[in-house]
Amino acid sequence: MTIAPKTLKEADLAQFVGTSCYHQHWMGIHYTDGVQYLAERGGAYWLIDAIASWQTDPRVSQDAMLQQFQFWTLTVNDNRSARLVCERDEGNVAVTQDIPFTDFPLKRVKLYFQNGVLHLPSEY
């Protein structure tokens, strides 16, 4: 069995402005068509899972600012490890998660989480 390579490119994500459908995650959050595309093409449903799971952590769930808006960034290192960071604002880090290995095809991706919906910056 051959596994198809991931075909996600950064330019592909820019096509998403708004969404026609909100997808429901099993942990209760929703996400847009652009995030669905990112997860499907980038093999990154785990990224949605990670962000959804952080919503129950007291550092996130009890932070009034994070209940309004969250800035998430996944940065993939050359050795294929990664770091997922949630910020309240530029440089104001709330939580980080080190990921020992990922085959996510992009070096970096940003996501926004607002009012229970995860979306791409271009969909904001």
Q: 0.85 exceeded by the pTM?
A: yes
Residue 82 lies in a domain: no
58 torsion bin: left (phi>0), alpha (psi -120 to 50), beta (else) = alpha
**Residue 3 located in a structural domain:** no
Total count of domains within the chain: 1
Question: Does 105 reside within a domain?
Answer: no
- Helices within 6-44 (DSSP H only): 10-13, 33-42
Say if 22 falls within a structural domain.
no
Any domain includes 102: no
Residues 13-26 have pLDDT tens digits of 999 998 888 999 88
Average pLDDT, the chain: 93
Domain of residue 49: give its range.
28-69
Residue with tokens 């550092």: 59
Residue 121 in any domain: the answer is no
**Range with lowest mean pLDDT among 3-12, 27-36, 58-67, 97-106:** 3-12
Query: How far apart, in whole angstroms, are the C-alpha atoms of residue 114 and residue 91?
Result: 18
